[in-house]
């Protein structure tokens, strides 16, 4: 997908270069991101578990 937005194009190029450096291996990419997050020392936000509701959401699309 090509856009006319240079910022989106730049982000996609960065993302692709990062993936290429890790041979497009999802497990390696995730491990690198996880290690970077740990090294940063910043806290990650964790939300409490909420089971999915069986009710139809108010924003659902009409049939």
Contact 19, 29 (CB under 8 A): yes
pLDDT at 44: 81
Residues with Cβ within 8 Å of 3's Cβ and at least 6 positions away in sequence, in order, are: 9
Share the mean pLDDT of the chain: 87
* Cα gap 29→24, rounded to integer Å: 7
* Cα gap 22→15, rounded to integer Å: 11
pLDDT of 37-60, one tens digit each?
A: 999 998 888 889 888 777 766 666
Structure tokens at 14: 């960065």
Tell me, yes or no, if the pTM score tops 0.75.
no
Could you state, in order of their start, the residue ranges of all structural domains in the chain? 6-40
- Reported as a pLDDT band with limits 50, 70 and 90, residue 8 is very high
* Cα gap 24→61, rounded to integer Å: 35
């Amino acid at each position: 997908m090509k856009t006319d937005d240079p910022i989106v194009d730049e982000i996609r190029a960065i993302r692709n270069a990062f993936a290429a450096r890790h041979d497009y291996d999802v497990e390696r990419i995730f491990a690198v991101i996880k290690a970077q997050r740990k090294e940063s020392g910043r806290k990650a936000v964790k939300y409490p578990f909420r089971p999915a509701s069986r009710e139809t959401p108010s924003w659902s699309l009409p049939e």
